[in-house]
Amino acid sequence: MKKDSVRDFMKAQRQKIDDDGFTAKLAARLEYYPVPQKANRKSFYIALIAPAFFLLAVLAIALLDGWDILIVHLKNNPFDGLNILWPALASLTLLLSSGLTILAINWKETY
């Protein structure tokens, strides 16, 4: 087998590193940090995707020519129980706020 001088040289220089209190010091530092939680990606994506679905629904209404009917209905009877826009807006606000909360929690945990 051909001698690989570079590999031999590098292997010969391989130092033995003693602990020298490194692990103890690190363990002590880790005590100050909370136990990290598994990143809640599922709820993160749900929080982002749900508003997108809502916007798609609004677009679908517009495309199906239901937009004018909805606006007229809203102008005439804004607090009508049949009005679907208010619950939809309320759920959108809820989803956005939950999304922002998750983002804020993730940010705080990471940084």
Partner 1 sequence: MDKGAFEQFIKLQHEPLRRFLLNLCAGNQAMADDIAQEAFIKCWLNIGAFEGRAKISTWLFKIAYNCFYDYVKQEQKHRLESIGNYEFCLKDVEKEDKTEVSQALYQALSKLKYQERVVSLLFYMEDKSLKEIAAISKTPVNTVKSHLRRAKLQLKKYLEETGYEKR
Selected from 2, 13, 68, 107, the binder of partner 1 by CB under 8 A is 13
**Binding-residue pattern over the window 28 to 57 for partner 1, x denoting contact by CB under 8 A:** -xx--x-xxxxx------------------
CA angle 89, 93, 97 (to 5 degrees): 170
- Residue that has been written with the tokens 């530092």 in this structure: 29
From CA 68, how far away is CA 70, in angstroms rounded? 5
CA distance 98 to 104: 10
Residues 22, 45, 53, 67: which binds partner 1 (CB under 8 A)? 22
Stretch that binds partner 1, among 5-13, 51-59, 77-85, 88-96 (CB under 8 A): 5-13
- From the list 40, 39, 55, 38, the residue with the least C-alpha distance to 96 is 55
Interface contacts to partner 1, rule CB under 8 A: 5-7, 9-17, 19, 22-23, 25-27, 29-30, 33, 35-39, 109-110
